[in-house]
Chains A and B, each alone.
Chain A
């Protein structure tokens, strides 16, 4: 099937089999390997991308479901070579260790901050609770999201 998908701002047309998963499509057809696969059962969340700005687990969507829509992956977070505040905060707060869950964690956090620029700790923990991390105990991820929220607030002031 022919689909048109806008990935990180660039629209392109692809010929894909209807059974190809969106996660596979992003990794193998679009060549963006920052999106990872960890469980195949919509549980771990490391495949999370933004579809029209909303977090989705790309192992549980077919590529054809993204037809006519916009996908944002971790590679699209930085703008014009400038890191997103959430990327900077993850590094600054040691919000990552092995890095495998990190792209997805940053994307759900980005979506949270877009909807709620000043989230509480509970808001953050709830927002990222569809995404597993085995390294950090989530402490510094929460800290990073709060810091990024602070940075965003400063920018907006």
Chain B
């Protein structure tokens, strides 16, 4: 196959001292973190600060007949108790969600999920606030709970959202895309149809720092400063203004160091609203920090898609079309954090890395008595579910057609010369070389040898499985035409100031939660201007101090904020050229640029450094030129970016216990140009671990009464270093043609791509027995049962 792009990262064009793109610069932010000097939300302490704790519903569905807080109010230290009725007086009992639904802040009529917010206690210290919760008496009238979306859509199911006018059933949305008729025809013409029903289980991002805020409303001025665990502080400021009716110039959101986000810190939660309302009413700062259980049972869950997929194929393995019917469990309030045009996020990327003419996708959402959420947990909106479905289907198709799972992929990949490639559901893939990524992964893992070993092991009754996934992601929203969150268009911004001494400060609309922005974004500027990355401070998170942006989630920081950074640096370079020409007494067009320096063409010794120019911008600039060297750029991306990769997992399955162990995990990622290879690899490691978590152990379940199973880290299993597999990374580099530095984003690729690889590996070990599906997490008892059912008896 023809290779048109470099196979690995090109050599950096800057010196290590400058530290531009391609250098594995050590992280600037680490200097405070390794000393315990990070400043996270719970570290914010203000004078006269009060503490808020939330009373939550113990039951999933009940009418509230009354709330008696009198005993709680008598407890020493308690200052106030807030109920939904109190908030209703300020029109704050309900708030809009990010998907144009409404969500109760504190329940007034009914509770609709276990863990829903019912009342708030504000006290002088957190211990008193928590103790007082036990003294609030709520009169609940039990209602039957709806715990699955299938149940929710049955005739006569209890109506959950009786608060919504015109809502007669539990249907939340229906959404359809693709060409039904053409897809029907493709299936009619197929030699083989392969189908798969699978549930992508409910999961939770569970960052180690839970959510919280400190709201500080100045009673004299009305100025509201809200320190908040926010991945999107600017958007949150605007939503606060719209919801609470506060003038936006009086609202300042400060997102401090964040102890992991993974999508969990994108929505606005009732706790934020209650703390702000309490501070407004009481005239004192109010802190709310949720417990781990509160975090797991009430804040943004992810996934919970029941998927039915069908592939139409020719006998030779060529895919002719894809049909998907999908049922989403949205919980009690539709609060998916996603672009408003797409009700199932970007699930329609489900056509994957393959070239075929048609697809038809129908998705339905249902209300259930479960927590709301639908956040993009370390993925672009619903891309994880989509990638999982197509990669499972393609692998299963290989078994039906007696083809190798690698071969069927090779026969169907979009070819490198087909980019930009228009998918049947309307995406325009920017660039890719899928065959090469798979080839690199196969060589790295020793694929052919492994297949031989697998056959020999099988003959001896041992189960070895080799699972593949060749995923394509879609990240970096927007453009503004197609992508918005609650109406706010998905651009992003960067403001760059070069000080007289040649040092610089970069301010961003995005917000790191551990991705290393203080280092990588400085490297982009270093690359563009030749100012050493260590001379560039990066600021984020304070809405008074940074330009407007939509925040960090769905891998959009590098594709959008990174592009804005490169563009603003180029703007300053253009201005610097004018000043350099003045200093060198030469015409602008006669100047050449090399990293960090302008010189007169033909006379390289006659030059000025960017630092010289910066000083002159404040001390010696030409007449008529605006002084200073600073600028801002708002970047509206022309297209999304499409990172991709091929992952191969090798597992050994113990037939007697159903326990499976990962022997190898090879991950070849192509995220375009890598700004800081060390950080990119760190992002991939983390994603691979979270993908393993979902495949192996991590899920939120409910019993038939609607009780959440998975409300703490003893039931919701997050892998430790002991269970987490060892990872082997590889890379190819196919730059994005439309991104200023060719980067695509990488923070989520591995979470998107890897679950299918792990599960396919287990299925591959059992494929000869006829096993085609085990739902995630692939727990030992599920494996054991699958073997038993396939073999018609007890495997052990």
List A residues at the B interface (Cβ < 8 Å): 19, 27, 32-41, 43-44, 46, 73-75, 77-78, 83, 87, 90-92, 94, 96-103, 106, 124-126, 128-142
Contact = CB atoms under 8 A, between A and B. Distances in A.
A38 B29 CA distance: 21
B225 interface: no
Contacts of A96: 30, 33-34
B713 interface: yes
A136 B208 contact: no
Contacts of B38: 34, 99-100
A34 B38 CA distance: 7
B727 A139 contact: yes
B713 A39 contact: yes
A27 B40 CA distance: 12
A39 B690 contact: no
B722 A140 contact: no
A74 B36 contact: yes
Contacts of B606: none
B438 interface: no
Contacts, number: 166
> Shortest 6 CB-CB distances between A and B: which pairs?
A34-B36, A98-B514, A100-B259, A99-B33, A137-B689, A43-B713
Contact of B210 (A38, A106, A130, A140): A38
Contact of A134 (B26, B39, B292, B718): B718
B459 interface: no
Contacts of A74: 34-36
Contacts of A36: 40, 42, 208-209, 259
A43 B292 CA distance: 10
B292 A40 contact: yes
Nearest to B750: A137
Q: How large is the interface on B (under 10, 10 to 19, 20 to 34, 35 or more residues)?
A: 35 or more
B219 interface: no
22 contacts: A33-B40, A40-B292, A41-B712, A43-B292, A46-B208, A74-B35, A77-B35, A91-B30, A92-B26, A96-B30, A97-B682, A98-B209, A98-B513, A99-B29, A100-B38, A100-B260, A128-B721, A132-B718, A134-B207, A134-B718, A137-B689, A139-B685
A78 to B, nearest CB: 7
B42 A135 contact: no
Given A132-B208, A134-B262, A97 B686 contact: yes
Interface in B1-48: 26-27, 29-40, 42-43
Given A103-B36, A134-B205, 15 more contacts: A27-B42, A33-B42, A35-B36, A36-B40, A38-B210, A83-B34, A94-B26, A94-B681, A97-B686, A98-B207, A98-B513, A102-B34, A132-B208, A135-B260, A136-B689
Interface of B: 26-27, 29-40, 42-43, 127, 205-210, 257-262, 291-293, 513-516, 678-679, 681-682, 685-690, 712-714, 718, 720-722, 724, 726-727
A44 B292 contact: yes
A39 B205 CA distance: 14
- At the interface, is chain B mostly helix, strand, loop or mixed? loop
Contact of B682 (A46, A75, A125, A136): A136
Contact of B33 (A32, A102, A126, A142): A102
A87 B33 CA distance: 9
Given A33-B43, A98-B260, A136 B36 contact: no
B36 A33 contact: yes
A97 B38 CA distance: 12
A94 B678 contact: yes
- At the interface, is chain A mostly helix, strand, loop or mixed? loop
B516 to A, nearest CB: 7
A87 B35 contact: yes
B292 A125 contact: no
A38 B721 contact: no
A92 to B, nearest CB: 6
Contacts of A83: 34-35
A90 B36 CA distance: 13
Contacts of B681: 94
A139 to B, nearest CB: 4
Contacts of A138: 685, 689, 720-721, 724
B720 A132 contact: yes
Contacts of A41: 292, 712-714
Contacts of B687: 137
A81 to B, nearest CB: 11
Nearest to A17: B127
B720 A37 contact: no
Contacts of A124: 721
Given A73-B36, A78-B35, A99-B259, A136 B713 contact: no
A90 B722 contact: no
A97 B515 contact: yes
A34 B292 contact: no
Nearest to A140: B682
B685 A90 contact: no
Contacts of B678: 94
A137 B727 contact: yes
Contacts of B727: 137, 139
B27 A91 contact: yes
A129 B713 CA distance: 13
Contacts of B712: 39, 41, 43
Contacts of B42: 27, 33, 36-37
A46 B208 CA distance: 8
B514 A129 contact: no
B34 A137 contact: no
Contacts of A98: 207-209, 257-261, 513-514
Nearest to A84: B34
A94 B27 contact: yes
Given A94-B678, A138-B721, A39 B292 contact: yes
Contacts of A129: 720-722
A44 B35 contact: no
Nearest to B207: A134
Nearest to A46: B208
A110 to B, nearest CB: 12
B721 A19 contact: no
A34 B259 CA distance: 12
Nearest to A102: B33
B714 A100 contact: no
A140 B685 contact: yes
A47 B170 CA distance: 43
A36 B292 CA distance: 13
Given A83-B34, A87-B35, A94-B679, A126 B722 contact: yes
Contacts of A142: 721
Nearest to A128: B721
A99 B257 contact: yes
Contacts of B210: 38
Contact of B34 (A44, A90, A131): A90
A7 to B, nearest CB: 13
Nearest to B685: A137
B292 A38 contact: yes
A130 B514 contact: no
A139 B720 CA distance: 11
Nearest to B31: A91
B721 A141 contact: yes
A98 B260 CA distance: 6
A134 B690 contact: yes
Residue with the greatest number of chain B CB neighbours at <10 A, chosen from A106, A124, A132: A132
Nearest to B688: A137
A90 B30 contact: yes
A125 B721 contact: yes
B566 to A, nearest CB: 23
B27 A38 contact: no
Contact of B686 (A34, A44, A128, A136): A136
Nearest to A142: B721
Contacts of A33: 36, 39-40, 42-43
Given A75-B36, A139-B727, A99 B30 contact: yes
A75 B35 CA distance: 6
Contacts of B292: 38-41, 43-44
A134 B678 CA distance: 17
